[in-house]
Chains A and B, each alone.
Chain A
C-alpha cells in the first residue's frame, strides 16, 4: 500500500510539474464553456427542456474531447516512463510493475475528478432557470457514469502506453477514445443503452430528456465502464510485467 501511495504521489507530482495536470483539468473545464456561451444562441431553443438538453449535449461533446486528450496523455506518460528508464528505477526499488500502472491510474483518476467535477458543476450552474427542467439526480449520475468511461479511457491509454512508443500510443489512445465517445453524443440513447456500448453514458448525458430511466441506465452503463476499466488495467499490468524497461 505504501508503495502504491508513493507511486501515486510521485505521478501526481510529475503531472503537476510538467503542466499535464493543468492541461487536462483546463480542457475538461473548457467543456463547460460552450454550454454556457453557445447554449443561448442555438436556434430552436424556445422549448426549455430542449434548450437544457442542447447545452448538456455541448458539455458532453467537450467532455468527450477532454477524455480523448486524457487517454492520449496517459498513454504517452506510461510509454515515456518505460523509455526514459524511470519505470525501471522504480522496479529496481521493489515497486511491482503492476503498482506502477495502478499508481499512474490513480493519479489520472484524481485529475479526472478535479476536471469533471467542477466542469459539471459549472454546466449545471450555467443552465440557470433551465435547470428546473432536468432531474439533478439524473444529471449527476450520468456525469459519474461519464467519469467511469473516462477511467476506462485512461486505462486504455495505460495499456497502449505499455505496448507502443510514445507518439503511437498517444495517437492511438486519443483517436480511439474520440472515435467512440464523440459519435455517442449524437446517437440515439435506446440503441446504445440496450447494447453494452462503451459510449453509452455519453449518449445518456447528451440526451437526458429522451432517456427513459436515466438514473438506472447511467448506473448500469457506468458500472460496465468501471468493469471495463478494471479489465483494461489488469491487461495493462500484465503487458507491463512482460515489457523491457
Chain B
C-alpha cells in the first residue's frame, strides 16, 4: 500500500536533491535505489514516466504554454490516444479549476495557476509514485489541502517541505535527513505519542531522542 511521506533535511536542499535523483534528473555520485520496483529509469519503457511523476516547486514546464497546451503536451508524451487524452484533460481542468485561464500563457497568470497546472500535468498519467518538491506553495491552505489529498490506496507520495506544519493531515510518515544520513523515519502518530507536533522542532526533537536512546542502548 502506498504511503504519504514527508521528506525534510538539514542542511536545506538535501531533500530536494534526493528528489531530483529519484526523478532521474540528477546523477548520484554513488549508491543504488529502487522506485516502483525499478532500480533505474532505463528499466521502464521510456524511463520512469508512467510510473513516477515529479513536480518541482515552479511546475517546471515551458512558461509560454497555456494550461491547455501543457496538459495536451503531457498527454501526448504519455502516449494517450486523442479521445483518452481529451477525457483526462477535461477531468484535470475540472478538478484543478483551470477553466478560466485555460488558453492564457501560464507566465502571465501567476504562480498559483502555474503550480496547479504543474500538479495536473504530473497527475495526468496516474503515476504510482509522486515526487513533490514544495508543492502548491502559492495556494491558500484550503485549496492546497484539497488538491494534495492525493487519491489512490496504492500510490506513494514523497513530499519535500520546509514547513512540515503545513502538511498536517497530508502525510502519514516523516523522513528527516541530517548531514547526509537518515536521522529519522517515523510515523506521524509517533510524534503525537511523544507530545510533539509535526514541525521542524518536533522532528528534530524526535530524531535527537531516538539518537540518545540508541547511544544509551549501545553503551549499555
Given A14-B62, A85-B58, A96-B47, check contact A242 B77 (CB 8 Å).
Answer: no
CA distance A242 to B78 in the complex (A): 23
A6 contacts the other chain (CB 8 A): yes
A92-B53 in contact (CB<8A): yes
Interface range for B: 20 to 34
CA distance A91 to B20 in the complex (A): 12
Stretch at the interface among B1-9, B23-31, B96-104: B23-31
B48 contacts the other chain (CB 8 A): yes
Given A94-B78, A244-B25, check contact A10 B62 (CB 8 Å).
Answer: yes
Task: For A93, list chain B residues within 8 Å (CB).
Answer: 49, 74, 77-78
Given A86-B61, A86-B62, check contact A92 B26 (CB 8 Å).
Answer: no
CA distance A6 to B64 in the complex (A): 16
Task: For A244, list chain B residues within 8 Å (CB).
Answer: 20, 25-27
B76-A10 in contact (CB<8A): no
A3 contacts the other chain (CB 8 A): yes
| A95 → B minimal CB distance (Å) | 6
A88 contacts the other chain (CB 8 A): yes
A191 contacts the other chain (CB 8 A): no
A94-B77 in contact (CB<8A): yes
B25-A91 in contact (CB<8A): yes
B73-A92 in contact (CB<8A): no
What 1/0 flags go to A1-35 for Cβ under 8 Å of B?
01100100010011001100000000000000000
B13 contacts the other chain (CB 8 A): no
In B76-120, the 8 Å CB interface with A consists of 76-79
What 1/0 flags go to A84-108 for Cβ under 8 Å of B?
0110111111111000000000000
| B86 → A minimal CB distance (Å) | 17
Give the nearest-CB partner of A86 in chain B.
B62
Task: For A90, list chain B residues within 8 Å (CB).
Answer: 77
Give the nearest-CB partner of B124 in chain A.
A93
A92-B23 in contact (CB<8A): yes
Task: For B49, list chain A residues within 8 Å (CB).
Answer: 92-94
Give the nearest-CB partner of B127 in chain A.
A92
What 1/0 flags go to B44-82 for Cβ under 8 Å of A?
011111101110101011101000000001101111000
| Chain A residues at the B interface, C-beta cutoff of 8 Å | 2-3, 6, 10, 13-14, 17-18, 85-86, 88-96, 242, 244-245
Interchain Cβ contacts under 8 Å between A and B, 21 examples: A6-B77, A10-B73, A13-B64, A14-B64, A17-B64, A18-B64, A85-B60, A86-B60, A86-B62, A88-B25, A88-B60, A90-B77, A92-B24, A92-B47, A92-B52, A92-B54, A93-B78, A94-B50, A94-B79, A96-B46, A242-B27
